[in-house]
């Protein structure tokens, strides 16, 4: 599994930032928005997309299912819908890990 960069502590991310954080091209993100109902970034004037941390976790999960586990889009949709509660727990663990990494970095700075 590819080690993806940690998610910075901000509220909104542009599509290019999400592309870099998830190692997915921008046109792929736009396609996934059409295919996966749970991926709905906020759109502002000029139809600019702004993703939140939760959206980034969804993108990373989709990426894992498609690229790492080798599922098709329909297979990924089925797995997501059948195991939505399990995936929510995984999302929470990933958020927790990101937060712990940040706290550890802050502690190291103090020491």
- Is 70 exceeded by the pLDDT of residue 93? yes
Please give the mean pLDDT across all residues of the chain: 88
**For the chain, the helix, strand and coil percentages under 3-state DSSP, each to the nearest 5:** 65, 5, 25
- Give SS3 for 48: strand
Look at residue 58 in the predicted model and tell me its pLDDT.
Answer: 93
pTM: 0.72
- Dist. CA 66–CA 60, nearest whole Å: 10
Residue 67: both structure tokens together: 């690229």
Specify burial of residue 50 (Cβ count, 10 A radius: 0-12, 13-18, 19+).
Answer: middle
91: number of Cβ within 10 Å: 16
Look at residue 86 in the predicted model and tell me its pLDDT.
Answer: 60
pLDDT digits (tens, 9 = 90+) for 27-62: 999 999 999 999 999 988 888 999 999 999 999 999
Name the CATH topology of 15-110: Multidrug-efflux Transporter Regulator; Chain: A; Domain 2 (1.10.1660)
- Dist. CA 62–CA 80, nearest whole Å: 9
- Dist. CA 21–CA 7, nearest whole Å: 7
pLDDT digits (tens, 9 = 90+) for 69-83: 999 999 999 888 876
Look at residue 17 in the predicted model and tell me its pLDDT.
Answer: 97
- Give SS3 for 64: helix
């Amino acid at each position: 599994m590819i080690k993806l960069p940690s998610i910075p502590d901000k509220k909104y991310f542009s599509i290019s930032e999400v592309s870099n954080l998830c190692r997915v091209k921008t046109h792929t993100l736009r396609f996934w928005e059409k295919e996966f109902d749970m991926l709905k970034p906020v759109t502002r004037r000029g139809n600019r997309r702004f993703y939140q941390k939760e959206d980034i976790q969804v993108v990373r999960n989709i990426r894992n299912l498609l690229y790492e586990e080798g599922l098709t889009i329909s297979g990924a949709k089925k797995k997501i819908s059948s195991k939505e509660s399990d995936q929510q727990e995984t999302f929470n663990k990933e958020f927790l890990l990101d937060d712990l990494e940040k706290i550890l970095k802050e502690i190291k700075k103090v020491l």
